[in-house]
Chains A and B, each alone.
Chain A
Amino acid sequence: MPENNVLRNALLIDGIRIPFQRAGGSYKSLMAYDLARMAIQALVNATRISPNAVDWVIMGNVVPNIATSNVARDAALAAGLPKQVPAATVSLACISANKAITNAVDLVRSGQADVVIAGGTESLSDIPIGLRKPFRMRLLEAQKYRSKFSYLKFFRGLKFRDLLPEIPEIAEFSTGRTMGEDCDMMASRFGVSREAQDAYALQSHQKAAAALKNGALAKEVAPATIPPGFQVIDQDDGIREDSNREKLQALKPAFVKPYGTLTAGNSSFLTDGAAAVLIVAESVAERLNLQAKARIHSYAYSAQDPAEELLLGPAYAIPKLLDKSRTALTDIDVFEFHEAFAAQVLANLKCLASLNFARKNLGRDAAVGEIPMEKLNRWGGSLAIGHPFGATGARLVTTAANRLIQEDGELALVASCAAGAMGNAIMLERV
């Protein structure tokens, strides 16, 4: 509901993504730029919008390629959109696409734009492998060297390890801990067992496999073709239909060794992919003859202390959104949560259901509520489908809208956590 009657309604017309692929897989020769332009082009075709009608492009991206630092702009230009369409890249860790979408919603609601393409793109096959800071500093200084002898200075005090390439890892800058380490800690803290994690991961794969088979996922996936061979990629490659409890139990801890509970099997894998949605003002949608799938009802962001609650974003963002939109968890028909780790989802569910957490952390008298598992991620989640950091939000919003229609629901809730201890929740309403 718009908060005052001046604001316009923002509709979600449709969303589309290219198949998500494991990093180092089918998309390994491509840049995030290539993935983004495939997604944008696919969205334009899927929604039948004229490229001339687009007012803005906003794309999320987390690991940038410095050659395309505003990847949204470069991708939009090479996706057949007119040069006159502005484009921005937003970075908010794993909720970058969520931020892109809510920015689009704001532009549309406030009348700044009528038609916005929002989404995200990520290539973890094209990460910036760099030189270390001491080496970089010397290289820059060396540009000012006047005599040949100055080069002797270059190596003074330089250690051998300074010469090694620096491969970025998914670590929190403020704490120095990787996300997996943090989540493993959280699993212990909230008593999420290895068995529970593996069981959750297994059903994520099974649900995704079923959705793949019955064609539910195909609706939101456009085939990608990859130069120079142009093989057709038409399916996500991370879904493991043949996974089972025994296989998952056999995996060794991936982050906290030897007693940790997070494994490669119950954590999301490094993924390449891109996704986009079309956000349009209600009045304009009618004029352009666009059929909407959902209305963006409301959204909220949260942020906590990264040292303590890195992955509890949903547990904070959801109550904030429910309060703001004066709805209760029981009003929600469709839940689409990002699954960074099985443990992260389960910990958040526990917090939401906990009276203690509600009192202590949220200042509420009652627990936020239990989320019925049969309403959560019915077509699988990031654990199975994959998690291209900058793009996942657009996948969640698209799936939530499609599920609303398929399950004949009224309200859908999308929630995600992000590095920096941030969280996002978006509510969609069936139109």
Chain B
Amino acid sequence: MAYTQTEKDNGIAVIWLDQPGESVNKLGVEMVDEAEALVEWLDKDPEVKALIFISKKVDNFIAGADLEAMIADRKPGVLQEMSRRGNRLLNRIESLEKPVIAAIHGAALGGGLEVALACHYRIVTESPKTMLGLPEVKLGLLPAGGGTQRLPRLVGLQKALDLMLTGKNVYPRQALEMGLVDEVTHPYALLDAAKASANKLLNTPRKRQRKKSLANLALESTSLTRGFIFKKAREMVEKTSGNKYPAPYKIIDCVEHGMDNGIAAGLEAEAAGLENLADTPQARELIGLFFGINKAKKNPLKTQPLAVETIAVLGAGLMGAGIANVSAANGLRVLLKDVNHENLAQGKKHVWQHLSRKVNKGALSAFERDEIFGRLNGVVDYNTFSHANIVIEAVFEDLNLKHRVLRECEQACDAKFIFASNTSAIPISEIAAAAERPAQVIGMHYFSPVEKMPLLEVVVTSQTADWVAATAVETGIQQGKSVIVVKDGPGFYTTRVLAPMLNEALEILEENGEVRHIDNAMKQFGFPVGPITLIDEVGIDVGAHVSKILSKLVAGRGYKSHDAMIRMFSEGYQGRKNGMGFYHYHDDANTLRGIGKKKKEVNRTAYKFFSGKTRRERHEVSEIRTRLVMMMVNEAAWCLQENIIRSPGDGDIGAVLGLGFPPFLGGPFRYIDRLTPSVALANLERLADAHGPRFQPAPIIRDFARDKKSFYR
């Protein structure tokens, strides 16, 4: 058989999953066809007493459904039919008299976990590669292979909802604790342990120990009390993502329907739900993004990258420490340099706390944390920099300072070292101007907090050597980032696209707008933080700096950025970092604990920089959104036009992963496609009429509108 190989050993059928031509197993029509026949045949075979599903792939059980095949030229009704078929197979497996064991090493995600859930017993390996989860929600879909039915019955309603609504991964020890799996073993013993447990199940049918507490049991046992949990879950969804995404609600519906009307009804709800969700634009954009992000985890550059063993990071602040952390955690040796040991200690503390949180979650052992920490070397001089293959500077945004550290590094490092700047706005060519070897200067723009933000923007100048770019991209991928390669210019891509949007928020303030109203309008639209809050977070000093850097660019298009940030900065406003911003900050605002705790008050004295009036008015919400989003989208189009970005795909990934552009809109270019370029053009022209040349449409939008082209389809 093509997808499976079955061995029989003493009455146990070991079914090796091994999809031809792929590095991972994916569930598709062929796999289901084959498994259906196989299960019937093994059920009838009197020699076979028990079945084991195990994978031949390296570090993978089943990665999930074959998304590409699923989405490619989909006809109405196909998905729900597939779900029904899959569920028939899984029901059949579940109802077998013979014990069925899932022996899992590596990822068992989505449909992969659902197969395991239909088995009678689950063994997983104690390995960081082993993770279980139902991530469908992240694609705007729902688990449609019985996940919404079997998971809550196995681990309890609350845990199950948490897993399905966040799509997060569960690691072996957590999985055992919550009762998701029955046994944990080491990778080399997996098959033997599965056989042993098959024999055990043959002799004594397993009584599953309830992992749920009595209180939860009581809470989940009646329709009435369950209703309370569902209500809470819906409130939670509404609070975290508003009504932007239909998938979480559908998932809750399926679970509730199944709980109240039985598994069969629940499975039917799943199938219908999948069909329904797959038609939503949210799912379409999220799936498109998903493919784009995966692509950004492969190096698109053809040149051979240099082997990187050691990277040096200049500056142990939040950025520097974050870069050091993701590097050390991914096997690189790190030299973290700062001017004194006190600064270094703060950087190390940041890394330690981040790693320790992972230890507490069970995602890392204490020794693994120590090993990572052991790769992190705090230094106060350049003595060891001769080992560094790449130096990433995360010092203050000051060109002279950057020139100085660049020259110091050129003194200390090997001739083949790469100097990367983590600047968010200073053009790399200006930094490279001071270099002895400008071909080895590049931008590596990370986003804060580095551990959490998945994007790396690699910025190449006209002088940057190909091997330098390839090495920077490869390093970013090793650090776990999705990487886009952009051309050098003021603000590169991300900062350049963000700045006009923030500027537009200031323009609305100038028109007497209200700070919190603007923030809320954009948050409800789907941005993780409002634009004004973002200015405070990034820093008004940084904002002032960026607007200076972009001034020439916008002047070329006949307008001037709002100068409020420059004036505010000169009067001492720096945003959250010094407690002087558009909002008031409490004492604990600068600690992790303080974030999001209290609702912060608007600092009304900041209004004096905008029209001066203290009575503010609320602009139409849709008007605020259109103005801000069109600003961003238009600038993205300018960037594509000027070849700052290589493709609309890179532009979308950059905006979603780096700037929090609402993922369900897919990014600026998917958004234009969704509006259609002619509607986008009409919007821009209307706004340009009303507000001036800053809304002047990028020519590429005009061309696409005229030619009825779209960026993707």
Contact = CB atoms under 8 A, between A and B. Distances in A.
B341 A225 contact: yes
A45 B377 contact: yes
A81 B333 CA distance: 10
A308 interface: no
Contacts of B387: 48, 50
Interface in A220-235: 223, 225, 227-232, 234
Contact of A78 (B345, B348, B370, B379): B370
B345 A232 contact: yes
Given A45-B384, A48-B383, A80 B349 contact: no
Interface in A67-114: 74, 77-81
B386 A230 contact: no
Contacts of B356: 227-228
B349 A77 contact: no
Which 6 pairs of residues, A with B, have the shortest CB-CB distance?
A230-B349, A78-B370, A80-B374, A230-B345, A78-B374, A225-B345
Nearest to A79: B374
A240 B51 CA distance: 73
A282 B144 CA distance: 68
Interface of A: 37, 41, 44-46, 48, 50-51, 74, 77-81, 223, 225, 227-232, 234
A228 B342 contact: no
Interface in B346-404: 346, 348-349, 352-353, 356, 367, 370-371, 373-379, 383-384, 386-387
12 contacts: A45-B383, A74-B367, A77-B367, A77-B371, A80-B376, A225-B344, A225-B348, A225-B349, A228-B353, A230-B349, A231-B345, A232-B341
A228 B370 contact: no
Given A223-B341, A225-B348, A80 B367 contact: no
Given A48-B383, A79-B374, 13 more contacts: A45-B379, A45-B384, A74-B367, A78-B374, A81-B374, A223-B341, A225-B349, A228-B349, A228-B352, A228-B353, A230-B348, A230-B349, A230-B352
Contact of B386 (A48, A74, A223): A48
A77 B374 contact: yes
B378 to A, nearest CB: 7
A134 B346 CA distance: 49
Contacts of B348: 225, 230
Contacts of A51: 333
A80 B346 contact: no
A246 to B, nearest CB: 37
Nearest to A76: B374
Interface in B480-527: none
Contacts of B341: 223, 225, 232, 234
Contacts of B378: 225
A225 B376 CA distance: 13
A45 B383 CA distance: 8
Contacts of A37: 370, 374
A78 B353 CA distance: 17
Contacts of B377: 41, 44-45, 80
Interface string B322-358: 0000000000010000000110111011001100100
B374 A227 contact: no
A45 B352 CA distance: 20
B346 A230 contact: yes
B312 to A, nearest CB: 12
A74 B365 CA distance: 14
B346 A78 contact: no
Interface residues of B, number: 25
A229 B348 CA distance: 10
Nearest to B367: A78
Contacts of B376: 80
A50 B384 CA distance: 9
Nearest to B353: A228
A17 to B, nearest CB: 16
A74 B374 CA distance: 11
Contacts of B344: 225
Given A225-B341, A230-B352, A234-B341, A48 B374 contact: no
Contact of B375 (A46, A80, A223): A80
A44 B334 CA distance: 13
B383 A227 contact: no
Nearest to A289: B386
A48 B387 CA distance: 8
B160 to A, nearest CB: 34
A37 B373 CA distance: 10
Contacts of A44: 377
Given A41-B377, A48-B384, A50-B387, A227 B342 contact: no
Q: Which of B344, B345, B349 has the most CB of A within 10 A?
A: B345
Contacts of B333: 51, 80
A210 to B, nearest CB: 23
- Most chain-A Cβ atoms within 10 A of its Cβ — which of B377, B383, B386? B377
A77 B378 CA distance: 17
B384 A227 contact: no
A88 B386 CA distance: 30
Given A228-B353, A232-B341, A78 B383 contact: no
A384 B384 CA distance: 32
A174 B359 CA distance: 45
Contacts of A227: 349, 352, 356
A48 B333 CA distance: 13
Contacts of A50: 387
A77 B372 CA distance: 10
B373 A78 contact: yes
Contacts of B349: 225, 227-230
Nearest to A51: B333
A232 B384 contact: no
Nearest to B377: A45
Nearest to B381: A45
Contacts of A228: 349, 352-353, 356
A80 B386 CA distance: 17
A232 B69 CA distance: 57
A81 B377 CA distance: 12
Nearest to A226: B345
Interface string B234-255: 0000000000000000000000
A25 to B, nearest CB: 18
Contacts of B375: 80
* Residue among A46, A51, A77, A228 with max Cβ neighbours from chain B (10 Å): A51
Contacts of A232: 341-342, 345
A41 B384 CA distance: 12
A174 B235 CA distance: 73
A81 B370 CA distance: 12
Contacts of A74: 367
A161 B329 CA distance: 49
Contacts of B352: 227-228, 230
A127 to B, nearest CB: 21
Question: Which of A41, A45, A228 lies at the interface centre, i.e. has the most chain B CB atoms within 10 A of its CB?
Answer: A45
A227 B373 CA distance: 11
A169 to B, nearest CB: 31
A36 to B, nearest CB: 11
Interface string B122-155: 0000000000000000000000000000000000
A51 B333 CA distance: 10
Contacts of B345: 225, 230-232
A232 B376 CA distance: 16
Contacts of A223: 341
B412 to A, nearest CB: 11
A101 B153 CA distance: 62
Residue in A81, A227, A232 with the greatest tally of chain B CB atoms within 10 Å: A227
Pick the most buried of B373, B374, B376, B386: most chain A CB atoms within 10 A of its CB.
B374
Residue from the set A223, A230, A232 with the largest chain B CB neighbour count within 10 Å: A230
A229 B356 CA distance: 13
Q: Pick the most buried of A46, A48, A223, A225: most chain B CB atoms within 10 A of its CB.
A: A225
A44 B341 CA distance: 17
A78 B352 CA distance: 14
